[in-house]
């Protein structure tokens, strides 16, 4: 085998050329801590040209707040030199010519000479590594958040199961036995007594409705989104058909735009249309003619759908309350409901990455707008 000495002799390789080929920064300082050699890679790391560093104390490569300590460490090292690596566990900081810092790992070695020890420092820039560590950490944190979210969803499901069963059962008992009293003990009850029982039953039934609506809302939050192309024109016609058969006495002029399609979860979008249309129907009660229009326009490349009626409308001052659960802008006597409908609509629209908003005026009708925009989520 041809050894290094032979190669060096043949090709005039000297140690400077070898150091020049090292990708890490190599800094050699003398016994006084002054730099006597830097390899070309130092310029890329520290932003100094080699000639700017020669003769300078090596401390200038250390951030100012550590310089004092560094001088002491250096003296200790020179007194009892030993080879070692530093900075792989907790980062050391190095300072560039412009004063900025970077995380560094440093290997130290020494070579005794007739002028005292030469100290050889090999510096690696850990910036990229630490950046990668951070993104890995971010990924870990995201995974942890996701699994936490799954856990919460599971708990929520268990909760809605319990609500579904445990809250409904006693309400049925309240309502049922009130009815038993009304049926079996009618002769013993005066008008006020009967009225009290009727109130109890009404309240129990209303709470039953609230529980049902709340469960529906919870299901929307936990169920998977199953996105397909949805024909909203056909879906609107179907919902209208159901509404017509449920309240055949209502005379309503329905206007439905053709060619309404978008991507979304058809089951959930049906719930949106059912809620918006039954709201429109409810709030146009007493109007002649009652008029409900479903249509869309394009804005910024996406469809903006609307359900518009000429009903009771509302004061826009309260519009911020409109989409909150259990929020109602009208009294329950004239317009019954639990105040879950628009909260449900908003949940569904938000889950599609869209927006919902309203425009209205008291007594002049309301228009609810919504968009569906399935954003591509970067994983």
Partner 1 sequence: MNKATILLAEDNYDDEVLTLRALRKKLTDVNIVVAHNGVEVLDYLCGTGAFAGRNPADMPNLLLLDLKMPMMDGQETLRRIRANARTSLLPVVILTSSDEQRDQIECYRLGANSYVCKPVRFDDFVKAATRLGVYWLEINRSPPPPALSG
Task: Single out the residue of 208, 295, 337, 353 in contact with partner 1 (rule: CB under 8 A).
Answer: 208
Region of 67-75, 82-90, 210-218, 335-343 interacting with partner 1 (CB under 8 A): 210-218
Cα 197 to chain centroid distance, Å, stands at: 49
Residues linked to residue 357 through DSSP beta bridges, in sequence order: 369
Q: Name the residue nearer to partner 1 (CB basis): 158 or 255.
A: 158
Task: Single out the residue of 18, 149, 152, 173 in contact with partner 1 (rule: CB under 8 A).
Answer: 173
**Minimum distance from CB of 175 to partner 1 (Å)?**
5
Tokens of 190: 């005066």
Region of 21-29, 67-75, 209-217, 266-274 interacting with partner 1 (CB under 8 A): 209-217
Among all chains, which residue has been given the structure tokens 């003990």?
185
Task: Single out the residue of 129, 138, 144, 180 in contact with partner 1 (rule: CB under 8 A).
Answer: 180
- Binding to partner 1 by residue 177, rule CB under 8 A? yes
Tokens of 282: 């409810």
- Binding to partner 1 by residue 161, rule CB under 8 A? yes
State in Å, rounded, how far the first CA of the chain is from the last one. Answer: 53
- Binding to partner 1 by residue 169, rule CB under 8 A? yes
- Binding to partner 1 by residue 164, rule CB under 8 A? yes
How, if at all, do strands 290-299 and 261-265 pair? unpaired
Task: Single out the residue of 27, 119, 215, 340 in contact with partner 1 (rule: CB under 8 A).
Answer: 215
Tokens of 103: 């995380």
Using CB atoms within 10 Å of the CB of residue 95, give its burial: 0 to 12 exposed, 13 to 18 middle, 19+ buried: buried
- Binding to partner 1 by residue 262, rule CB under 8 A? no
- Binding to partner 1 by residue 205, rule CB under 8 A? yes
Region of 47-55, 77-85, 170-178, 259-267 interacting with partner 1 (CB under 8 A): 170-178
- Binding to partner 1 by residue 175, rule CB under 8 A? yes
> Is there a contact between 29 and 42 (Cβ–Cβ < 8 Å)?
no
**Minimum distance from CB of 126 to partner 1 (Å)?**
51
> Is there a contact between 307 and 280 (Cβ–Cβ < 8 Å)?
yes
Instruction: List Cα–Cα distances, 341 to 183, 273, 284, 371, in angstroms.
Output: 35, 10, 16, 17
The alpha carbon dihedral of 32, 38, 44, 50 has a sign of: positive
- Binding to partner 1 by residue 244, rule CB under 8 A? no
How, if at all, do strands 290-299 and 302-309 pair? antiparallel
Applying CB under 8 A, the residues found at the interface with partner 1 are 157, 160-161, 164-166, 168-169, 171-173, 175-180, 201, 204-205, 207-208, 211-212, 215
């Amino acid at each position: 085998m041809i050894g290094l000495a032979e190669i060096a002799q043949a090709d005039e390789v000297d140690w400077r050329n070898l150091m020049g080929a090292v990708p890490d920064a190599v800094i050699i300082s003398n016994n006084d801590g002054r730099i006597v050699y830097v390899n070309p890679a130092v310029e890329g790391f520290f932003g100094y040209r080699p000639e700017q560093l020669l003769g300078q104390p090596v401390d200038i490569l250390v951030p100012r707040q550590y310089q004092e300590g560094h001088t002491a460490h250096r003296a200790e090292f020179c007194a009892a030199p030993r080879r070692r690596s530093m900075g792989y566990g907790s980062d050391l900081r190095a300072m560039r010519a412009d004063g900025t810092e970077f995380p560094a790992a440093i290997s130290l070695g020494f070579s005794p000479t007739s002028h005292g020890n030469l100290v050889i420092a090999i510096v690696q820039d850990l910036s990229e590594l630490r950046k990668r560590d951070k993104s890995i950490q971010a990924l870990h944190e995201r995974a942890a958040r996701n699994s936490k979210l799954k856990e919460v969803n599971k708990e929520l499901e268990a909760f809605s199961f319990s609500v579904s069963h445990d809250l409904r059962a006693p309400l049925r008992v309240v309502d049922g036995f009130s009815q038993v009293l009304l049926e079996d003990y009618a002769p013993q009850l005066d008008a006020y007594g009967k009225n009290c029982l009727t109130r109890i039953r009404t309240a129990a039934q209303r709470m039953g409705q609230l529980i049902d609506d709340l469960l529906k809302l919870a299901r929307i939050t936990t169920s998977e989104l199953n996105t397909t192309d949805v024909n909203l024109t056909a879906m609107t016609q179907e919902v209208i058909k159901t509404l017509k058969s449920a309240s055949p006495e209502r005379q309503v002029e329905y206007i439905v735009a053709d060619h309404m399609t978008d991507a979304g979860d058809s089951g959930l979008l049906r719930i949106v249309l059912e809620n918006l249309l039954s709201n429109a129907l409810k709030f146009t009660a007493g109007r002649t003619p009652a008029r409900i229009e479903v249509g869309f326009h394009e804005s910024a490349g996406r469809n903006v759908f609307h359900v518009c009626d000429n009903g009771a409308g509302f004061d826009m001052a309260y519009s911020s309350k409109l989409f909150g659960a259990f929020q109602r802008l009208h009294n329950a006597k004239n317009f019954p409901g639990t105040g879950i409908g628009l909260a449900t609509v908003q949940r569904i629209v938000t889950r599609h990455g869209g927006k919902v908003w309203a425009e209205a005026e008291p007594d002049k009708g309301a228009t609810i707008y919504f968009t569906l925009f399935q954003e591509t989520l970067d994983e």
